[in-house]
Structure 1
Amino acid sequence: MKARGGKAIYGASVGILMLDARFPRIPGDMGNALTWPFPVHYRIVREASPDRVVRRGAEGMLDAFIDAARELESDGVDGITTNCGFLALFQEELAAAVGVPVVTSSLMQVEQVNRVLPRGKRAGILTISASTLTPLHLEKAGVPKGTPIGTTEGGRAFTRAILDNELELDTDLARQDNVTAALKLKRDNPDLGAIVLECTNMTPYAADIGEATGLPIFSIVSLVTWFQSGLVPRRYF
């Protein structure tokens, strides 16, 4: 038996393009390596702050994300993702720039989730910033027009702490913000059958959201876990 080389790293099939942030990344956040049941490989895109990417449309950052994606590919990852749902804007460009599969945003799950729901039900989106989630973001992610959108904007802690890149996060208040926003989304949309969490920092609260709403909850962790299972299929014998 002979081992085969050609990569700089082994065992981490998923490469994650990270925003340049300092807010706490608690377990469940994709930027916390303990979240994953498999190894991942990180690359920070410098100057890509949460404010710049979410509130300012990632202006001037495409080349930096392409360079970082190419570095991940050169390191040896088998697929690439990002840690912000708003980076759906760069899906086409990143996929064209590298030779491995790319999935930029949790929002790319919405159409797939719609297909598995009972007739008359549809998925909705919970986002960190509805005011800056544009039709172009949704189009790039393949989100059907008219998809209901809820947001944690205006809450007590979550949106502010993440987008202002604060060094402290009140996780109890953040949980309340997410649950409250999800319940409002359900209340406003009687045909809601599931929720897709746009923001990768929402995943720590997915179980709470599911328990409160009684709905299936899909997140970046559910998407990347599926993604990784295709990159490295489980061996059964």
Structure 2
Amino acid sequence: MKATGGKTIYGASVGILMLDARFPRIPGDMGNAMTWPFPVHYKVVRDASPDRVVRKGAEGMLPAFIAAARELQADGVDGITTNCGFLAMYQDELAAAVEVPVVTSSLCQVEQVNRVLPAGKRAGILTISGSSLTDRHLRGARVPDGTPIGTTEGGREFTRAILDNEPELDVEAARADNVEAALALQAAHPDLGAIVLECTNMSPYALDIRAATGLPVFSIVTLITWFQGALVPPRFA
């Protein structure tokens, strides 16, 4: 047996472009390495704060994200993702800038989820900031027109603590914000068949949302677990 080189880093196939943030990343959060049952490789994009990327539309940040994606590729990752659903707006640009697969956002699942739901049902999106989520973001992820959207914006804890980049998070209040927003989305759309969590920081509350709504919940964790399975298929023989 001979080992073959050519990379700097081995064993971490998924590279994650991280926002430059200080808010707590609890287990289940994409930025907490304990979330993943496989190794991942992180690259922080400096000055890409939650406020700048979400509320300010990541204005002027594309070159920094492209540079960081190329660094991840040079390090040896086999696929690249990001830790903010709003970076769906850069899906095409990032995919064109590197030579490995790129999936920028949990929103990239919406069309696929629609295909597996019963007739008359459709997926809806739960986002951290409904006022900031634009057609540009949705188009980047190929989200179908008219997809229902709910938000935690205006809640007690979650949106404020994350987007204001606060050093403390009341986890139970954040959980309540997510569950209440999901229930409101479901109540407003009787044809809702599943929920896709736009925000990567919502993943810790996916099970609570599932229990409250009875609906399947798709997140960045479900997407990147699928992605990893393609980059490193299991051996059966």
2:195 aligned with 1:200: no
Partner of residue 146, structure 2: 146
Q: Note the aligned Cα RMSD (angstroms).
A: 0.3
Q: Secondary structure at the match of 2:228?
A: helix
State the percentage of identical aligned residues.
Answer: 79
The runs of 5 or more residues in structure 2 that have no matched partner are: none
Structure 1: distance between partners of 2:69 and 2:115:
31
1:107 deviates by: 0.2
Partner of residue 210, structure 1: 210
1:186 deviates by: 0.2
Instruction: Name the amino acid aligned to 1:15.
Output: G
Q: How does 1:56-75 map to 2 (within 5 A)?
A: 56-75=56-75
Q: How does 1:33-182 map to 2 (within 5 A)?
A: 33-182=33-182
Instruction: Name the amino acid aligned to 2:17.
Output: L
Partner of residue 19, structure 1: 19
Structure 2: distance between partners of 1:65 and 1:110:
24
Structure 1: distance between partners of 2:145 and 2:56:
23
Q: When the two structures are aligned, how many residues end up with a matched partner?
A: 237
Partner of residue 3, structure 2: 3
1:208 deviates by: 0.1
Q: Secondary structure at the match of 1:234?
A: coil
Instruction: Name the amino acid aligned to 1:65.
Output: F
Encode CA deviations 1:16-49: one digit per residue, 9 max, x unaligned.
0000000000000000000000000000000000
1:88 deviates by: 0.4
Any runs of at least 4 consecutive aligned residues in structure 1 with deviations exceeding 4 A, and if so which?
none
Instruction: Name the amino acid aligned to 2:157.
Output: A
Structure 1: distance between partners of 2:119 and 2:90:
32
Structure 1: distance between partners of 2:22 and 2:110:
29
Structure 1: distance between partners of 2:55 and 2:129:
8
1:136 deviates by: 1.0
TM-score, normalization by structure 1: 1.00
Partner of residue 186, structure 1: 186
Structure 2: distance between partners of 1:28 and 1:218:
13
Q: Secondary structure at the match of 1:130?
A: coil
Encode CA deviations 1:139-166: one digit per residue, 9 max, x unaligned.
1100000000000000000000000000
Q: Secondary structure at the match of 1:150?
A: strand
